[in-house]
Amino acid sequence: MRIPLSGPDITEEDILAVTEVLRTSRLSLGPKLEEFERAMTDYVGASHGIAVSSGTSGLHLCVRALGIGENDEVIVPSFAFIAVANALRYERAIPVFVDIESLRLNLDPAQIEAAITPRTKAIIAVHTFGCPAEMETILSIARKHHLFVIEDACEALGGEYKGRKVGALGDAGVFGFYPNKQITTGEGGMVVTQSEKTAAMVRALRNQGREDSENWFQHTELGYNYRISEMNCALGITQLKRIEQILERRAEVAALYSQKLRDVPELTLPTYGDANCKISWFVYVVRLAARFSEVQRDQIILRMKSRGIGVGRYFAPIHLQPIYKSDGSMRAPLPVTESVAPRCLALPFFNRIRDQEVEEVSETLRKLVTEVGN
């Protein structure tokens, strides 16, 4: 693609930080790991941080550490990346899919209590597209019913809810650092929590179930190799130093898209910000008007790609994925999810996209919407 959907923002300082690690004898479980964990906890306001191999592994470790297991039910949105449900199925827990609200596309708090049963153990609140979920209400419901809250903040580093960074508001939170995220470690993730007990369990499970990393052959839990390398952590440290600059640039790109597309009647643009939340722009997703079909949306995607412009389908509902259609997962009717998802279109969005590229994408989309919609 001439204009890709996403792209990492790697500087010479990032490259130097990684190569310096390669000149040492510590490539795993070393000082860069500890430094990255401290930097992340300081930034988000958590007591503990545990760096892991991916956001998905982080979600899995949270599920294990909180004691969520076979036949336990966990409330999740279906309009999310599939890892949020997969992490539950790894432990034979049951995802209970609940609908989203139509503005921010996050879990609808008004739908949660109807989905709670005696087997419900937790709620996973996904900060979709970097927009904070309605955490005050979700946490209130969780306390009332004695449920855990896991924040999937993989798309939301730097996002804020009522003046506090997301990820550190629930019992545990997870960030992801895949190359399409606000900052990247190549592959990697981070679990954050205020609980020393949860942190200790996640730390042990990350490293083959070892409570004491010095006692290499003493295993107390059935753990995993979810470690992250020193090179990944070195990259994360330097990237995190630029986080505010990165978030500012991404907000500028989002504002430019909104300026260029605001007069296209066939599009609903993202309008996430308000006094309670600060969005961390992960992607810029527009919605086609209700009269557009999924087939027409996909035609627009193909035509944009034929012009060298990368676009994406964010998200395909999890409950409609082949692996989840008949696996025993539970769901109430999801009318908002099923209405919104087929009409969503993610536009090229990354730190280094140029203003003229945003203009080209916008003009191309404007023309194709008119052509396909007539």
- Binned at pLDDT 50, 70 and 90, residue 154 comes out as very high
How is the beta sheet containing 284-288 ordered, strand by strand?
Answer: 267-268, 284-288, 344-347
Q: What percent of the chain has pLDDT over 90?
A: 92
Look at residue 190 and give its three-state secondary structure.
strand
3-state secondary structure of 222: coil
Domain boundaries, the chain: 12-99+106-241, 244-373
pLDDT at 336 over 80: yes
- What are the tokens at 269? 């643009």
Dihedral angle computed from the Cα positions of residues 288, 292, 294 and 296, in that order, rounded to the nearest 10 degrees: -100
For 62, 200, 220, 337, the CA distances from 195, given in Å and listed in that order, are: 12, 9, 19, 33
d(Cα 314, Cα 128) in Å, to the nearest integer? 10
pLDDT in tens, 282-317: 999 999 999 999 999 999 999 999 999 999 999 999
Rounded mean pLDDT of 133-138?
A: 98
Is the pLDDT at 374 greater than 90? The verdict is no
Span 21-36, average pLDDT: 97
Average of pLDDT values for 232-248?
Answer: 98
Q: pLDDT tier at 216 (50, 70, 90 boundaries)?
A: low
274 pLDDT above the threshold of 90: no
Q: What is the CA radius of gyration of the chain?
A: 21
What's the pLDDT score for residue 271? 80
The CATH number given to 244-373 is 3.90.1150.10
* pLDDT score, position 327: 76
285, 314 contact by CB (below 8 A): yes
pLDDT of residue 273: 66
Q: Do the domains spanning 12-99+106-241 and 244-373 agree at the CATH topology level?
A: no
pLDDT band at 373 (very low <50, low <70, confident <90, very high): confident
pLDDT tier at 356, thresholds 50, 70, 90: very high
Between the alpha carbon of residue 349 and those of residues 20, 107, 150, 197, the distances in Å are 30, 24, 27, 38
Q: Which residues are catalytic?
A: 181
Q: Does 68 have pLDDT greater than 90?
A: yes
- The chain-wide mean pLDDT, for the chain, equals 95
Q: What is the pLDDT of residue 326?
A: 76
Over residues 161-173, the mean pLDDT reads 97
Instruction: Classify domain 12-99+106-241 by CATH number.
Output: 3.40.640.10
pLDDT band at residue 215 under the 50/70/90 scheme: low
Residue 331: what pLDDT?
Answer: 79
CA atoms of 248 and 367, how far apart (whole Å): 29
CB 348 within 8 A of CB 289: no
- Order of strands, sheet of 277-278, starting from the edge strand that comes earlier in the sequence: 164-165, 160-161, 277-278
Say whether 38 sits in a helix, a strand or coil.
helix
The predicted pLDDT at position 214 comes to 63
Strand partners, 345: 286
- Mean pLDDT for 8-31 is 97
Identify the residue with better confidence: 215 or 142.
Answer: 142
Given a cut of 90, whether residue 213 has pLDDT beyond it is no
Q: How confident is the model at residue 281 (pLDDT cuts 50, 70, 90)?
A: very high
Residue 183 burial (CB < 10 Å; 0-12/13-18/19+)? buried
134 in Cβ contact with 368 (< 8 Å): no
| Element at 73 (helix H, strand E) | strand 73-77
